[in-house]
Structure 1
Amino acid sequence: MSEVTFLTVAEVASIMSVSKMTVYRLVNSGHLPAIRVGRSFRVPEQAVYEYLRESWQGANVDSL
C-alpha cells in the first residue's frame, strides 16, 4: 500500500497560487477531494497535481 501525503488548505493554496477561499470552494464543490480532520480539511497531495494537470489539459492553449 502506497503512502498518501496530505496537505493543509494553506499549502494547497500556495501550490496553486490561489486564496484559501478558492481551495475551500473547490473542496465544497467536489472538484478537489478532501478529508476532514477536526475542524480543518486535508487534501491528498496527488489530487492537487491531478486537478492542475486536468485543468491545464482542458485549457485552450492556442488562445494564449
Structure 2
Amino acid sequence: MAEPRFLLLSDVAAELNVSDSQVYHMVRSGELPAIKIGGRGQWRVERTRLEEYINHKYAETAEWVRDNPLAEREPE
C-alpha cells in the first residue's frame, strides 16, 4: 500500500517524535510548510515537504556541530 501524500499534524508529530503542539507551532511559524484544506481549515503536510524539512535540519545541525566543536577535556 502506498504512503499517503499528505499527513495529519499528528502523523508528522509521530514521525518526528515530538508533540502535536510542537508541530502546530512549526507549521504556524512557517518553519514547516503546510496547507489548510476543507471547510474547517485542517492542516496537512505533504510528505515530500516533511522529507525536505528533515534534510534541511540535518544540514543545519551539521553546520552547527562544525561551528561548535566539543571542547577537549584536559587530561586528569
TM-score, scaled relative to structure 2 = 0.69
Unmatched runs of 5 consecutive residues or more in structure 1 = none
- Fraction of identical pairs, as percent: 35
Structure 1 segment 1-64 matched on structure 2, within 5 A: 5-38=5-38, 39=40, 40-59=42-61, 60=65, 63=70
| Structure possessing the higher relative contact order (Cα contacts under 8 Å, 6 or more residues apart) | 1
TM-score, scaled relative to structure 1 = 0.81
Q: How many residues align?
A: 60
Aligned-CA RMSD value: 1.8
Give the structure with the higher percent helix: 1
Unmatched runs of 5 consecutive residues or more in structure 2 = 71-76
SS class of match (2:31): coil
SS class of match (2:36): strand
Give the structure with the higher percent strand: 1
Question: Greater shift after overlay, 29-38 or 46-55?
Answer: 29-38
Q: Deviations over 1:1-58 (max 9, x none)?
A: xxx8100001000111110001001100101111112332000011111111111111
